[in-house]
Each structure stands twice: as C-alpha cells, then as structure tokens.
C-alpha cells in the first residue's frame, strides 16, 4: 500500500493553546478523505500542515515515503494544492487568475492559456474568462479557486469547506469534479466539511477530529454535558445516556448513528438508552437513509435500505430510538 501521507506524533500549537496532537494518521495515495469535527477541532490546521505551508512543532510528516524537511518543503508544496475557504483572488481577469500559477512555474503563455481555459471549462466558468475575478459571486469565486488548483495537476488536492457559498447545483458539480479527478488521475483528495449529509458523496473514509485529536467517533451525534450517577450515566440537560463503563469525567459523548435502532412501537426488552421522539428529516445518503429524530436531543440515524423498507416512517411520526450502552463513546 503506497501512502500519500504518514504523520506520527504530530503536534501544533497557537501560542500556549495546543491545536493538534495526532499520534498517527496514514492516508493512502489516491484516497478520498473527509476531515470532520466541530469548529476548533483542528481540521484547517491539519490541512495547512499537509499542504506544507506550516510546519509542526513536533513530529514528522512523510509525503509519498519521504520525510518533510526544510530542504524539501517548497518542492512538496508544489505537489499539493490547497483550496482555502476564503481564497484570495488577484485583481485581474478570471483567465489570468488561473494562468498565474502556471506562468510562475515557467509554462509558456500559449500553453498556460490553453490549460487555464480547459480548467475553467471543467468548473463551468469558461464563459466568464474575461470578467474581473473580483466581480464574481461567492460560489463562482470558489469555483475559480478550484480551477486555479486543478490547472496545476497536483498529486494531492486539499480543500477547506469547498461547498462554502455554493448553491445545491454548485455543490453537486464540485463533487462530480472531485470524483472525476480522483478516478481519472488518481489524485489524493482531502477535504474538510460541516455538511455531514453530503460527506459520503465524495469521501471513501471519514476522519473524525475532536479537540485536535483523531477520535474513533461520529461527530454528527456529539452532545455536551457531564458524567452523573457515580460515573454510570451522562447528562446533557435534555437526555440521559447510560455509559458502558463507569467514568470519572468527560465533557462530551458521541453515538454511532449506525447503531441506533428505530421502531414505531416500544420494544419489549428495550435497552436503558431508549428515547421517544418524532422524525424531523428524511434524506437519502450513500445508498442508505439518514433520519433526524427529535427526542430531547436531535439524533442522526443511518439506516440500510432494508431496515428503512421495514420502518417507512413519515415526517412528524412518533418513533422509538434504542441503542446499547456500547454505542455511547465518552470524550474528554
């Protein structure tokens, strides 16, 4: 297995505040990865490290088998393109914005123009090539930034919230571009996102970050509260969860959405974590069904098509949620 990245004992701090502490993270070459987590979890900081525009305080990052050092950072930086959430656009035309990176790399004017036009066509902006880049809408500007990254043919494409400012059509087009790029060229794609309903449309694997650490948890059912009952339960103020083992402390719990069972009637031998609620959203996701159920807290549930066919709940319908204690993961 060829690795695009291998990070070991990686730490990064802003002053006295530690933003990242990753013991180990491997990303395969050609893999599509989504980094998810709440604000402040370290997603953007990790992208900056993987793009080699920042260096870790401690630890190592290997890039396609070679450890990053001050001597090779520039070369690595040119092989990994980073698309920021708020990208800076030059005060030039749309076309010139895309050509800029190629010209810096010594590509001829004729070739750079042709390559830039192909990249703009790919993101649906070729008709706007003569427009001032600063006149574009937020979604168009984000697609222009994507074209600037694509034209450089990077081995790794890193994207920070790429769907920001985009409408539904723009989001779908961007997802199609990333999938085509990955499948046709083998480019490794790493993105951050808050859109958990769309994350599996692009990503093959999700890496969950929480307070700068990789956690084996699902942050779409992340609840804040405190340990109660002598360590046997967790109280959020809206729901009480039974824990699998006695705990001394913890500020958050997360619940695997694939381990939550949904039924129309209360099961006879219901586990301690049983909640009555109502269905508030129903959406298709990655070949399955995602439900959002208001049951004190808002729960996200991922169901297989077969389980959904048995349930077929309607919006607003009362349902029961049940899950075992082992589905509850305590986070400090």
Asked whether the beta carbons of 187 and 223 are under 8 A apart, the reply is no
Q: Which residues have C-beta within 8 Å of that of residue 183, sequence separation ≥ 6?
A: none
The per-residue DSSP string of 238-259 comes to S-EEE-SS--S--SEEEE-GGG
Q: pLDDT tens string for the chain (332 positions)? A: 799 999 999 999 999 999 999 999 999 999 999 998 888 889 999 999 999 999 999 999 999 999 999 999 999 999 999 998 887 888 999 999 999 999 988 999 999 999 999 999 999 999 999 999 999 998 899 999 999 999 999 999 999 988 877 888 888 888 999 999 999 999 999 999 877 667 778 899 999 898 899 987 766 788 999 999 999 999 999 999 999 888 887 888 999 888 999 999 998 888 889 999 999 999 887 678 999 999 999 999 989 889 999 999 999 999 999 999 988 988 87
Does 2.40.50.100 match the CATH number of domain 219-331?
yes
**Sequence ranges of the domains in the chain:** 3-214, 219-331
Q: Which ranges constitute the DSSP H helices of 214-304? A: none
pTM: 0.77
Is it true that 3-214 and 219-331 share their CATH fold? Answer: no
The helix/strand/coil state of 3 is: strand
- Give me the CATH topology for the region 3-214: Rossmann fold (3.40.50)
């Amino acid at each position: 297995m060829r690795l695009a990245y291998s990070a070991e004992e990686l730490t990064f701090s802003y002053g006295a505040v530690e933003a990242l502490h990753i013991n180990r993270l491997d990303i395969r070459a050609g893999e599509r990865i989504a980094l998810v987590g709440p604000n402040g979890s370290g997603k953007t900081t990790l992208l900056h490290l993987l793009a080699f525009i920042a260096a870790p305080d401690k630890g190592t990052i290997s890039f396609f088998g070679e450890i990053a050092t001050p001597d090779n950072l520039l070369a690595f930086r040119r092989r990994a393109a980073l698309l920021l959430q708020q990208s800076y656009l030059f005060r030039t035309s749309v076309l010139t914005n895309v050509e800029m990176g190629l010209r810096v790399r010594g590509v001829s004017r004729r070739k750079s123009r042709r390559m830039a036009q192909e990249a703009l066509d790919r993101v649906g902006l070729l008709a706007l090539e003569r427009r001032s880049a600063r006149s574009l809408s937020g979604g168009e500007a984000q697609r222009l930034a994507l074209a600037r990254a694509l034209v450089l043919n990077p081995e790794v494409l890193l994207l920070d919230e790429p769907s920001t400012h985009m409408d539904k059509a723009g989001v779908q087009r961007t997802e199609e571009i990333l999938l085509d790029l990955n499948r046709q060229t083998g480019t490794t794609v790493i993105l951050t996102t808050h859109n958990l309903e769309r994350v599996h449309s692009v990503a093959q694997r999700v890496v969950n970050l929480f307070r700068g650490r990789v956690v084996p948890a699902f942050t779409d059912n992340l609840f804040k509260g405190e340990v109660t009952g002598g360590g046997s339960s967790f109280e959020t103020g809206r729901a009480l969860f039974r824990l699998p083992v006695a705990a001394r402390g913890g500020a958050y719990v997360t619940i695997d959405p694939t381990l939550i069972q949904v039924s129309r009637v209360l099961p006879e031998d219901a586990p301690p974590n049983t909640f009555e609620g109502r269905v508030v959203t129903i959406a298709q996701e990655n070949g399955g069904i995602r439900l959002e159920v208001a049951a004190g807290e808002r729960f996200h549930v991922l169901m297989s098509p077969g389980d959904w066919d048995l349930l077929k709940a309607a919006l607003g319908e009362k349902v029961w949620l049940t899950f075992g204690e082992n589905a509850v993961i305590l986070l400090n």
